[in-house]
Structure 1
Amino acid sequence: MSRKKSIILLSVGHACVDVYQGSVAALVPFFVAERAYGYAAASGVVLAASLLSSVAQPLFGALTDRWAMPWLLPVSTVLGGLGVALSGVSGSYPLTLLFVAVSGLGVAAYHPEAARAARIAAGGSHTAMGWFSLGGNIGFAAAPVVVAAVVTAGGLRLSPLLILPALVGSVLCLPVLRALTGRARTGATTASPPGADDRASFGKLSLVVVFRSIAFTGLSTFIALHAQQRTGGGPATGAAALLLLYLGGAAGTVLGSRLADRWDRVTVVRWSYLAATGGVAGVVFVPGPALHLFVVLTSACLYLPFALQITLAQDYLPTRVGTASGVTLGLTVSVGGLASPLIGALADRTSLQAALAPLVVLPVLGWLAARTLPEPAAPVRSEPAGERS
Structure 2
Amino acid sequence: MLVAISSVHLLNDAMQTVVTALFPIFEESLKLTYGQIGWIAFTLNMTSSVMQPVVGSLSDKWPKPWMLPVGMLCSMAGMAGLAVAPNFALLILSVVFVGLGSAVFHPEGSRVVHMAAGNRRAFSQSIYQVGGNFGQSLGPLMTAAIFVPLGQRGAAWGMLLAALAIAILFKVVPWYSAKLAEHGGRVPKKNAAAGASAADAKPSINKRVVAIAMSILLLVVFARSWYAAAIGSFYQFYARDAYGLTIQQAQIPLFLFMIFGVIGTFLGGIMADRIGRKKMMLISILGAAPFALILPYLPLEWVYPAIAVMGLILQSGFSVSVVYAQELMPGKVGTASGLITGLAFGMGALGSVVLGNLADAHSMSFVMSLASYLPLIGILALWLPKDRKEA
> Above 0.5 in TM-score?
yes
Out of 104, 107, 129, the position equivalent to 1:112 is 107
Distance in structure 1 (CA, Å) of the matches to 2:114 and 2:242? 42
SS in structure 2 opposite 1:290? Answer: helix
> What aligned pairs does 1:301-380 form with structure 2 within 5 A after superposition?
301-366=313-378, 368-377=379-388
Partner of 1:267: 279
The one-character-per-residue Cα deviations of 1:73-107 (angstroms, maximum 9, x if unpaired) are 22212322431332131221000011111111111
One-letter amino acid of the structure 1 residue matched with residue 23 of structure 2? V
Q: Which region of structure 1 is more displaced relative to structure 2, 285-294 or 184-193?
A: 184-193
Distance in structure 2 (CA, Å) of the matches to 1:109 and 1:137? 18
One-letter amino acid of the structure 2 residue matched with residue 139 of structure 1? G
Distance in structure 2 (CA, Å) of the matches to 1:190 and 1:357? 46
Q: Does structure 1 retain, via aligned residues, the 8 Å contact 2:189–2:330?
A: no
Distance in structure 1 (CA, Å) of the matches to 2:59 and 2:130? 23
Partner of 1:46: 41
- Displacement, 1:154? 2.2
Partner of 1:220: 232
2:151 pairs with 1:155: yes
Q: 1:179 to 1:162 in 2, by over 3 A?
A: same
Out of 159, 166, 169, the position equivalent to 2:165 is 169
Q: Does structure 1 retain, via aligned residues, the 8 Å contact 2:117–2:124?
A: yes
Q: 1:275 to 1:183 in 2, by over 3 A?
A: closer
Q: Does structure 1 retain, via aligned residues, the 8 Å contact 2:11–2:165?
A: yes
The one-character-per-residue Cα deviations of 1:242-263 (angstroms, maximum 9, x if unpaired) are 2112102101101111221331
Q: 1:349 to 1:248 in 2, by over 3 A?
A: same
Partner of 1:384: none
Q: Does structure 1 retain, via aligned residues, the 8 Å contact 2:17–2:139?
A: yes
* TM-score, normalization by structure 1: 0.90
Out of 45, 59, 65, the position equivalent to 2:60 is 65
- Displacement, 1:278? 1.4
One-letter amino acid of the structure 2 residue matched with residue 123 of structure 1? G
Q: 1:64 to 1:274 in 2, by over 3 A?
A: same
Partner of 1:281: 293
The one-character-per-residue Cα deviations of 1:161-219 (angstroms, maximum 9, x if unpaired) are 22111110111112111011122334489664873562321221111111111111121
Distance in structure 2 (CA, Å) of the matches to 1:41 and 1:10? 33
The one-character-per-residue Cα deviations of 1:347-373 (angstroms, maximum 9, x if unpaired) are 11211010121222211111x210011
Q: Does structure 2 retain, via aligned residues, the 8 Å contact 1:285–1:353?
A: no
2:250 pairs with 1:255: no
Q: 1:20 to 1:205 in 2, by over 3 A?
A: same
Partner of 2:126: 130
**Length, aligned pairs only:** 372
Identity across aligned pairs (percent)?
Answer: 28
SS in structure 1 opposite 2:140? Answer: helix
One-letter amino acid of the structure 1 residue matched with residue 139 of structure 2? A
Distance in structure 2 (CA, Å) of the matches to 1:138 and 1:72? 23
- Displacement, 1:148? 3.7
Distance in structure 2 (CA, Å) of the matches to 1:282 and 1:74? 43
Partner of 2:212: 200
Gaps of 5+ in 2: 191-195
Partner of 1:15: 10
Gaps of 5+ in 1: 1-5, 379-389
Q: 1:91 to 1:199 in 2, by over 3 A?
A: same
Q: Does structure 2 retain, via aligned residues, the 8 Å contact 1:283–1:291?
A: yes
SS in structure 2 opposite 1:237? Answer: coil
Partner of 1:33: 28
2:233 pairs with 1:238: no
Distance in structure 2 (CA, Å) of the matches to 1:184 and 1:41? 43
Q: 1:132 to 1:278 in 2, by over 3 A?
A: same
- Displacement, 1:292? 2.1
CA RMSD of aligned residues (A): 1.9
Distance in structure 2 (CA, Å) of the matches to 1:282 and 1:77? 40
Q: 1:74 to 1:375 in 2, by over 3 A?
A: farther
Q: Does structure 2 retain, via aligned residues, the 8 Å contact 1:73–1:173?
A: yes
